[in-house]
């Protein structure tokens, strides 16, 4: 598991303490800070920063004092911390998909109980169960076709083998989607900054909430994060984002309602460069007067980003609300045409019994699910792990 966001290399940091002083290069003086456009920057409240400073520092045995990256901990302490965190996340993820699991396993039990062999009627019922879990018609038909081939080749002879085959097929679909044009922080050289993430999707799916969660996690791992409020269509959009920015202590660039979003993005990119920000997360509008406006706006923003930073936006995440199921999938297709989406954030997985939509998304949109939203709170975002998802659905 390890870091949530992995751009910083896992290399050892060399302090070169046992080299003669003259061999150590002089640390260059930091460049004078360039002031970003004052009126648009909302800094985290002073008290937040002061509180952090005043916290008692625990006794450490490292020159790093307390460190967000855990540099003050021994290897064993770090491993123990990581294992505990992994367990906690796994438990929370299982709770989030509990409704889907219960509904799926209840229906599978009804289909399997009292049967001794696999026949056409059983396969038809199985098809219904998978479609009911929102796995989608084309994806379900594909899974059943693979299963039928296995039966014909005598590779699947009993109900246990059948269950295992379905589970394996779901995992294969999710893992195959991970290999499709995944953009992630690990593929962009560290020298290119800021790493630009654009968050797109229709209104109400959870874009702003996801940005808050991402900003918090990426910052907590020692990165300098800036948020760009480019949803200038709704007056409340910027305010909602400002609440998240304040909550997470991440600065925000915003302008008044109606400003060209590409202009806000331009300012944000300039500010990010001036401040030396490592990551810029961009909120975008979910609705405009009409769909073609929205798509044209996204295209313009992408052009501006590419002009200012090499390869930007480096990642375009499409947020899909799991509760809207197949409808959400249809909306997503509209975005795929223009937005150059590189991955999916599947939100509100905790609010549905039809979490099978994850498989439909992976198969039908041919895109990896990078993150899953499992609640409304700031730490309710997990890196989506196909194995963990499939295991959680099948109760192991």
Ligand X SMILES: Nc1nc2c(ncn2[C@@H]2O[C@H](COP(=O)(O)OP(=O)(O)OP(=O)(O)O)[C@@H](O)[C@H]2O)c(=O)[nH]1
To ligand X, the closest distance from the beta carbon of 350 in angstroms equals 5
Judge whether 188 and 194 are in contact, CB under 8 Å.
no
**How many angstroms separate the CA atoms of 214 and 202, rounded?**
19
Q: Which of these ranges, 10-18, 162-170, 346-354, 359-367, lies near ligand X under the rule CB under 6 A?
A: 346-354
Strands (E) located in the chain? 41-42, 195-200, 225-229, 252-253, 279-283, 315-321, 343-347, 369-373, 381-383
CB atoms within 10 A of CB 20: 7
| Residue 347 contacts which entry, Mg ion, ligand X, none (Cβ below 5-8 A, type-dependent) | ligand X
- Would you say 264 and 255 are in contact if contact means Cβ atoms under 8 Å apart? yes
First-to-last alpha carbon distance for the chain, in angstroms, is: 19
316 interface partner picked from ligand X, Mg ion, none, CB below 5 to 8 A per type: none
Residue 39 Cβ vs Mg ion, minimum distance, rounded to whole Å = 22
| Identity of the residue, 3 or 199, whose beta carbon is nearer to ligand X in the bound complex | 199
For the beta carbon of residue 10, count every other beta carbon within 10 angstroms: 7
Write down the least CB distance from residue 375 to ligand X, Å. Answer: 5
Q: Give the contact letters, 172-211, x = binds to ligand X (CB under 6 A), - = no.
A: -----------------------------x-xxxxxxx--
CA proximity to 212, closest of 376, 36, 92: 376
Residue among 167 and 234 whose Cβ is closer to ligand X: 234
Partner interacting with residue 209 (select from Mg ion, ligand X, none; CB below 5-8 Å by kind)? ligand X
Question: Whose CA is closest to 275, among 29, 39, 41, 49?
Answer: 41
| Max intra-chain CA distance, the chain | 81
- What distance in Å separates the CA atoms of residue 211 and residue 218, rounded to the nearest whole number? 10
Binding positions for ligand X, 268-327, rule CB under 6 A: 286
Angstrom distance (rounded) from CA 234 to CA 227: 17
Q: Determine the Cα–Cα distance for residues 79 and 70; give it in Å rounded to an integer.
A: 10
CB of 69 or CB of 329, closer to ligand X: 329
Q: Give the shortest CB-294-to-Mg ion separation in angstroms.
A: 13
Residue 347 to residues 126, 130, 134, 377, 394, Cα–Cα distance (Å): 27, 21, 15, 12, 21
Q: Which of residues 227-256 bind Mg ion (CB under 5 A)?
A: 237
Considering CB distances under 5 to 8 angstroms, the limit depending on partner class, which of ligand X, Mg ion, none binds residue 376?
ligand X
CA 131 to chain centre: 26
| Total residues binding ligand X (CB under 6 A) | 21
Q: Choose from ligand X, Mg ion, none: what does 375 bind? Cβ within 5-8 Å by kind.
A: ligand X
**One of 375, 384, 388, 392 touching ligand X (CB under 6 A):** 375
Residue number with CB closer to ligand X (136 or 212): 212
| 351 binds, options ligand X, Mg ion, none, Cβ within 5 to 8 A by partner type | ligand X
Nearest residue (CB) to ligand X, 72 versus 208: 208
Return the one option of ligand X, Mg ion, none that residue 136 interacts with (CB less than 5 to 8 A, by type).
none
CB of residue 286 to ligand X, shortest distance in Å: 3
Site string for ligand X, 350-369 (x = CB under 6 A): xx------------------
Residue 180, CA atoms < 13 Å, CB-side half-sphere = 21
# residues contacting Mg ion (CB under 5 A): 3
CB 118 within 8 A of CB 151: yes
Return all residues near 388 (Cβ < 8 A) that are at least 6 apart.
90, 93
Choice between 278 and 350, CB closer to ligand X:
350
Q: From the CB of 233, what's the least distance to ligand X, in Å?
A: 9
Q: What radius of gyration, in Å, describes the C-alpha atoms of the chain?
A: 24
Q: Binding pattern to Mg ion, positions 171-210, x when CB under 5 A?
A: ------------------------------------xx--
Angle in degrees, 0-180, between the axes of helices 357-364 and 137-152, rounded to the nearest 10: 90
265 binds ligand X (CB under 6 A): no
User: Footprint of ligand X on this chain (CB under 6 A)?
Assistant: 201, 203-209, 231, 237, 240, 286, 347-348, 350-351, 373-376, 380
User: Footprint of Mg ion on this chain (CB under 5 A)?
Assistant: 207-208, 237
């Amino acid at each position: 598991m390890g870091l949530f966001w992995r751009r910083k290399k896992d290399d050892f940091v060399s302090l070169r303490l046992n080299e003669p002083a003259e061999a150590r290069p002089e640390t260059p003086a930091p460049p004078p800070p360039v002031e970003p456009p004052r009126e648009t920057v909302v800094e985290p409240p002073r008290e937040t920063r002061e509180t952090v400073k005043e916290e008692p520092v625990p006794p450490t045995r490292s020159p790093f004092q307390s460190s967000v990256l855990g540099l003050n901990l021994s290897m064993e302490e770090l491993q123990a911390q990581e294992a505990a965190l992994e367990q906690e996340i796994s438990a929370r993820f299982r709770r989030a998909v509990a409704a889907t699991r219960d509904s799926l396993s209840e229906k599978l039990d009804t289909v399997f109980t009292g049967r001794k062999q696999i026949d056409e009627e059983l396969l038809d019922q199985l098809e219904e169960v998978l479609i009911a879990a929102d796995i989608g018609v084309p994806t379900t038909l594909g899974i059943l076709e693979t299963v039928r081939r296995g039966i014909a080749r005598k590779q699947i002879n009993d109900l246990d083998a059948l269950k295992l085959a379905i589970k394996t097929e779901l995992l294969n679909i999710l893992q195959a989607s991970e290999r499709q044009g995944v953009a992630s922080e690990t593929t962009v050289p560290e020298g290119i900054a800021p790493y630009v993430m654009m968050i797109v999707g229709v209104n109400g799916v959870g874009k702003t909430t996801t940005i808050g969660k991402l900003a918090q996690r990426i910052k907590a791992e020692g990165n300098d994060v800036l948020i760009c409020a480019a949803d200038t269509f709704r007056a409340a959009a910027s305010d909602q984002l400002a609440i998240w920015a304040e909550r997470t202590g991440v600065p925000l660039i915003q302008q008044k309602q109606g400003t060209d979003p590409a202009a806000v993005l331009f300012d944000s990119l300039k500010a990010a460069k001036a401040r030396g920000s490592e990551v810029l997360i961009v909120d975008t509008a979910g609705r405009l007067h009409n769909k073609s406006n929205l798509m044209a706006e996204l295209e313009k923003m992408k052009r501006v980003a590419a002009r200012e930073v090499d390869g930007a936006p480096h990642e375009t995440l499409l947020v899909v609300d799991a509760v809207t199921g197949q409808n959400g999938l249809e909306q997503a297709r509209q975005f795929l045409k223009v937005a150059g989406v590189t991955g999916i954030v599947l939100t509100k997985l905790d609010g549905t019994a039809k979490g099978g939509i994850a498989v439909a998304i992976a198969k039908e949109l041919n895109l990896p699910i990078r993150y899953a939203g499992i609640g409304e709170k700031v730490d309710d975002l997990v890196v989506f792990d196909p194995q963990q998802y499939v295991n959680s659905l099948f109760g192991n």
